[in-house]
Chain A
């Protein structure tokens, strides 16, 4: 056993964590809330029932784009059992997740922008009465022309879906250039240009969103809600309701699945709060499954054009990436999503010169936002499929080609992303070996194929959503004199195990059992701020905050015990509920006795920890999206069977390697990897959020039955390799796993389809129709491909030019004068 130490935190980093005799970290403990979830004890938002509780329903627009001429609520108000009816007039203040797009109203004030946009809300004694009242509300609309696609948004300036943005129906345009692109393409032996389309899809959490609001006689409001971001909901409610923040309490109930879909402040959350304030009674709303589809905030449909120059050995000399996002009717996270479609292209393979142009369009559809991988699965699909084509052009093995040009660990990319540990090489080697790639690639019979792709993801966004200098995560620790330990943190467990991560880390440092720890999370009254469960930030950020709080508590206990036992502090170790002399383990006290000694010496024992990510080296406008304390890496090989008669693709097996840095709990990491592969498989083969453009932009299938997602029958076998390349910024070296492993799946499947039947499907989902269309094209001697023909021609703004680190850049935008001189 090693002596007391700082458990691999910070500088101790990489090697440090591995040498420790860890008791909890790296072990497959069950989750602290697992038994509650398996016995029906976990209280989700819809499980909360309060005395005299009313039920709310939202009336949603059946017009995709229309001016509200008149709303008549008189019949609804007259219905017995109805206690309140509200419309946009009652909630005039706008809100939105990003400070730059405060474009939502809880209930539409003048216009509806998509089918499902809410215009009124009722509170009644029961759900049936609320439903009846909702249907008695009469709304008169004046139809407006609809904007149904990226192309239409670019071509049609009026009417505007939103009254702000770049111009017309273009929400945002971005143009960034890192390094001398002409020089880069001139140096290339081979240049490829490809277009890709990634269809939108949705999170489909099994739990429908639900919220309960209670405005009490002291004029204080409590909202229980199925949200991934209680802190941001707290801020939005403060703005919209006109109550002091100190009088609002937001409690995020355990989320029955999130995947990014519960990360915005939602109209139904605001509505139940207002209804409770009006009626003085608790008010609950539970969305129907159809309404969950209208909440959306899911994957943006993205059209892409990728131009890449390579040397004969496949090394990239320059990459020019264009993406066009269909944002739907509101901003949501869209500006960040737009930047994300251009941010992480540089963190896997060396890209010395890089240009990105991105455009987000407003259309009359439910708003898109962050879904698992936020803005990066789409460009990753384009990039990895194009690399497969390049390998084919150059007659190189796609695995070997990638291995030769990996980004170096602890380096700085052309767009100023600081890479930490980088285990992608090991991931590729493991899956190549495990899948018997060399004997399968190009060697399987017609109809069978293998494809490979890689990816990377952030471990938390480097910057908060609203500008501030405060920590991104805070933890408070309370130690009871009888030995109890309470961890409080604003983080939200959405099933990924964040409550358990807090317990594991504190237990490790204090030498106690994780199940002896009481975890209190996601309650703005009781827990310090954590920004929320998004951007794969929680293990790294709350983990570091918990580590700091626990180390501070251990220091207090150590000093008190050292004094009592007349030992040097360095001699003390914490394990098995004891604090003892490492040289003479019988000499020691129980953990509870140590707390008593510390409390006698210092008073009540409580410590805090917090975490702020390192500053980003990029200083240019737009440098806020992409930086992260660490990057996880994944590589996947898919083996498929393609039926050339029907076009049906069956994914038989996926081998995946994931660089987790250090598993805090390997079993939970495995679950995240498998779940990521599953969700990626759905996106690759079947999931799509699509609308009937010529029929009122109505959603094609807002139901769990018709929105196809993989059942046990479609789910493939998964062979997982965990690579532990510890990152110095992660707690014990840990990196993320919640989002990264989804990313390589879609391009791996597309590349495998090509290996199987020799056709390219340059868009997802890869449905049988598309495979057949590509096979038919091939048979007719046309390009053996299905995919978009091109991208719209648009006028891009002047590029913001940044010299790369290799060119001697300092991360700042080059002065325009210099550009033109």
Chain B
């Protein structure tokens, strides 16, 4: 076994609202710690170089690329992953609208988009289409062309504001 993996770091942090204790090789990224040491496979990876946004999670409520954050840096802080978005009461409104509108095609980039969108709506409950584009511009999606994702975010935002909203007819059936 390689030299550098012999000495494990041992830390405690808040993960999806619960305190966790974990030991891991100190060079590991948060992405690796989540997937390999905490068995939370919901956080995906597309490059492991900070280029695609796929591995985004929330660290103290702010989106970070978990492939660029050392696991050690989360000590005493709070991490939220896609697994933490749903509660016993049901899916997060963003999860529901992403599922219902077809914003997740292959679904691989979806966890990253969901968390960045959650961060956006926490700061700005009524974002314009341009603000959504800006917020999501660090996340790549190869399936959707982003449009269903914008629509899902807008729909979730409206519902979180307490409005009764549905997708516009043209988004579902096309223009007449």
B residues within 8 A CB of A33? 107
Given A257-B108, A496-B105, is A39 in contact with B54 using a C-beta cutoff of 8 Å?
A: no
> Once the chains are docked, how many angstroms separate the CA of A207 from the CA of B139?
13
Using A39-B86, A40-B40, A721-B174 as known contacts, say yes or no to A670 and B142 having CB atoms under 8 A apart. Answer: no
Q: At the interface, yes or no: B85 with Cβ under 8 Å from chain A? A: yes
CB <8 Å contact, A37 and B147: no
Check A30–B100 contact: CB distance below 8 A.
yes
Could you tell me the distance between the alpha carbons of A704 and B85 in the complex, rounded to whole angstroms? 28
Q: Which residues between 101 and 134 of chain A lie within 8 Å of chain B, taking CB atoms?
A: 125-126, 128-129, 132
User: With A31-B102, A37-B107, A670-B171 as given contacts, are A128 and B2 in contact (CB-CB < 8 Å)?
Assistant: yes
Is the CB of B4 closer than 8 A to any CB of chain A?
yes
Q: If the complex has contacts A671-B102, A703-B49, are A39 and B91 also in contact, measured as CB distance less than 8 A?
A: yes
Interface size classification for chain A: 35 or more
Is the Cβ of A259 less than 8 Å from the Cβ of B174? no
Contact between chains at A720 and B174 (CB < 8 Å): yes
Query: CB-defined interface of B8-40 with A at 8 Å, one 1/0 digit per residue?
Result: 000000000000000000000000000100011
Instruction: Tell me, yes or no, whether B126 is within 8 Å of chain A by CB.
Output: no
The reply on A722 being an interface residue by CB < 8 A is yes
C-alpha spacing A128/B5, complex, angstroms: 9
Residues of chain B lying within 8 A (CB to CB) of residue A447? none
A670 to B173, CA, bound (A): 7
Residues of B within 8 A of A288 (CB): 48
- The answer to whether the Cβ of A10 comes within 8 Å of any Cβ in the partner chain is no
- The answer to whether B145 and A677 have CB atoms under 8 Å apart is yes
Mask for A480-502, Cβ within 8 A of B = 1, else 0? Answer: 00000000000000111100000
What is the CB-to-nearest-CB distance from A282 to chain B, in angstroms, rounded to a whole number? 15
Indicate if the CB atoms of B98 and A38 lie closer than 8 Å. Answer: yes
A204 touches B82 (CB 8 A): no
Contacts of B99 in A (CB 8 A): 30-31, 34-35, 37-38
Question: Among B71-79, B109-117, B157-165, which stretch is in contact with chain A?
Answer: B109-117
B24 CB to nearest chain A CB (Å): 12
The CA-CA distance from A42 to B104 in the complex, in Å, is 12
The reply to whether A703 and B143 contact each other, CB–CB distance below 8 Å, is no
Q: B45 at interface (Cβ–Cβ under 8 A)?
A: yes
Contact B144 A721 (CB under 8 A): no
Q: Which residues of A contact B64 (CB under 8 A)?
A: none
> Are B146 and A38 in touch, CB under 8 angstroms?
no
Does A715 touch B at the CB level, under 8 Å? yes
Q: Does B1 contact A (CB under 8 A)?
A: yes
Least Cβ–Cβ distance between A504 and chain B, in angstroms: 13
Q: Tell me the smallest distance from the CB of A72 to a CB of chain B, in Å.
A: 21
B89 to chain A, nearest CB (A): 14
Q: Which secondary structure dominates chain A's binding surface?
A: loop
Tell yes or no: A15 within 8 A of B by CB.
no
Asked if A205 meets B40 with Cβ closer than 8 Å, knowing A704-B47, A713-B133, the reply is no
Q: Are A718 and B145 in contact (CB under 8 A)?
A: yes
CA of A706 to CA of B81, assembled, Å: 28
| A780 in contact (CB, < 8 A) | no
Contact at B83–A129, with CB atoms within 8 Å? no
Q: Report yes or no: B108 in contact with A206, Cβ–Cβ below 8 A.
A: yes
The answer on a CB contact under 8 Å between B137 and A713 is: yes
Residue of A nearest to B133 (CB): A712
Chain A residues near B134 (CB-CB < 8 A): 712
CB distance from A611 to the nearest CB of B (A): 24
A204 to B134, CA, bound (A): 22
A794 within 8 Å of B (CB atoms) = no
Q: A43-B41, A81-B1, A256-B44 are in contact. Are A715 and B91 (CB under 8 A)?
A: no
Q: How far is the CB of B55 from the nearest CB of chain A, in Å?
A: 11
Task: Give the docked Cα–Cα distance between A255 and B114 (Å).
Answer: 19
A512 contacts the other chain (Cβ, under 8 Å)? no
Q: Contact at A34–B1, with CB atoms within 8 Å?
A: no
- Verify A206–B173 contact, CB threshold 8 A: no
Tell whether, in the assembled complex, residue B1 and residue A129 are in contact, meaning their CB atoms are under 8 Å apart: yes
- Whether A715 contacts B44 in the complex (CB less than 8 A), given A28-B172, A206-B54, comes out as no
B111 close to A679 (CB less than 8 A): no
Interface residues of B in 123-172 (CB under 8 A from A): 132-134, 136-148, 167, 170-172
Interface set, chain A 719-754, CB cutoff 8 A to B: 719-722
Q: Which one of A205, A674, A679 lies within 8 Å of B148 (CB-CB)? A: A674
CA distance A36 to B173 in the complex (A): 25
Q: Which residues in B have their C-beta under 8 angstroms from that of A673?
A: 174
Shortest beta-carbon distance from B92 to chain A in Å: 9
Contacts A39-B83, A39-B91, A703-B49 given; does A494 touch B43 at CB 8 Å: no
> In the bound complex, how far is the Cα of B86 from the Cα of A41, in angstroms?
12
B88 interfacial by beta-carbon distance below 8 Å: no
Chain B min CB distance to A739 (Å): 13
Tell me whether A494 and B106 are in contact (CB under 8 A).
Answer: yes
Enumerate chain A residues within 8 angstroms of B100, measured Cβ to Cβ: 30, 34
Q: Determine the distance from Cα of A39 to Cα of B107 in the docked complex, in whole angstroms.
A: 10
**A35 contacts across to B, CB distance below 8 A:** 91, 95, 99
B18 CB, min distance to chain A CBs, angstroms: 16
Whether the pair A205, B107 counts as a contact (CB closer than 8 A) is no
Question: Are A128 and B104 interface neighbours, CB within 8 A?
Answer: no
Expressed in whole angstroms, the Cα–Cα distance for A205 and B137 within the complex equals 17
Q: Is the CB of B175 within 8 A of A719?
A: yes
Interface membership of A80, Cβ < 8 A:
yes
Q: Is the CB of B108 within 8 A of A256?
A: yes
Residues of B within 8 A of A203 (CB): 142
B45 near A208 (CB under 8 angstroms)? yes
Q: How far is the CA of A80 from the CA of B3 in the complex (A)?
A: 10
Other-chain contact of A675, B49, B145, B167 (Cβ < 8 Å):
B145
Shortest beta-carbon distance, A471 to chain B, in Å?
27
Asked whether B47 lies within 8 Å of A670 as measured between CB atoms, the reply is no
Distance in angstroms from A33 CB to nearest chain B CB is 7
Interchain CB contact (< 8 A) of B2 among A132, A670, A677: A132
* A6 beta carbon closer than 8 Å to chain B: no
Distance to closest chain A CB from B106 (angstroms): 3
- Tell me the bound Cα distance from A434 to B175 in angstroms: 9
User: Are A678 and B145 in contact (CB-based, < 8 A)?
Assistant: yes
Inter-chain contact A38/B107, CB cutoff 8 Å: yes
Is A667 part of the binding interface, using a Cβ–Cβ cutoff of 8 Å? yes
Which residues of the other chain, B, contact A713 by a CB distance below 8 angstroms? 133, 137
Is A809 an interface residue when CB atoms closer than 8 A count as contact? no
Q: Which residue of A129, A434, A705 is within 8 Å of B49 (Cβ)?
A: A705
Q: Please name all residues of chain B whose beta carbon is closer than 8 Å to the beta carbon of A132 when the two chains form the complex.
A: 2
Tell me how far the C-beta of B129 lies from the nearest C-beta in chain A, rounded to whole angstroms: 9
When C-beta atoms are compared, the residue in chain B nearest to A205 turns out to be B142
CA of A40 to CA of B108 in the docked complex: distance in angstroms?
Answer: 9
Nearest-neighbour CB distance to chain B for A519, whole angstroms, equals 15
In the complex the two chains form, is B148's CB within 8 Å of A670's CB? yes
Q: Tell me if A40 and B83 are in contact (CB < 8 A).
A: yes
User: In the complex, which residues of chain A have a beta carbon less than 8 angstroms from the beta carbon of B5?
Assistant: 126, 128
B172 touches A205 (CB 8 A): no
Residues of B within 8 A of A41 (CB): 42
* Chain A neighbourhood of B106, CB < 8 A: 37, 205-207, 254-258, 494-495
For residue A814, CB closer than 8 A to chain B, the reply is: no
* With known contacts A668-B102, A670-B148, A39–B82 Cβ distance under 8 A: yes
B2 touches A129 (CB 8 A): yes
Tell me whether B1 and A80 are in contact (CB under 8 A). yes
Give the distance in Å from the alpha carbon of A40 to the alpha carbon of B95 in the complex: 10
Enumerate chain B residues within 8 angstroms of A434, measured Cβ to Cβ: 175
Question: Are B147's CB and A674's CB within 8 A?
Answer: yes
- A675 and B105 CA atoms in complex are apart in Å by 10
CB contacts (< 8 Å) of A44 on chain B: these are 41, 44, 108
A4 at the interface (CB under 8 A from B): no
Distance in angstroms from A130 CB to nearest chain B CB is: 10
Q: 6 A–B contact pairs at CB < 8 A?
A: A35-B95, A39-B86, A46-B45, A132-B2, A203-B142, A713-B137
Q: Which 6 A-B residue pairings sit nearest by Cβ, starting from the closest? A: A40-B42, A495-B106, A37-B107, A678-B145, A256-B108, A34-B99
- Contacts beyond the supplied A81-B1, A712-B137: 6 A-B pairs with Cβ under 8 Å: A34-B102, A208-B45, A255-B106, A674-B145, A704-B47, A711-B137
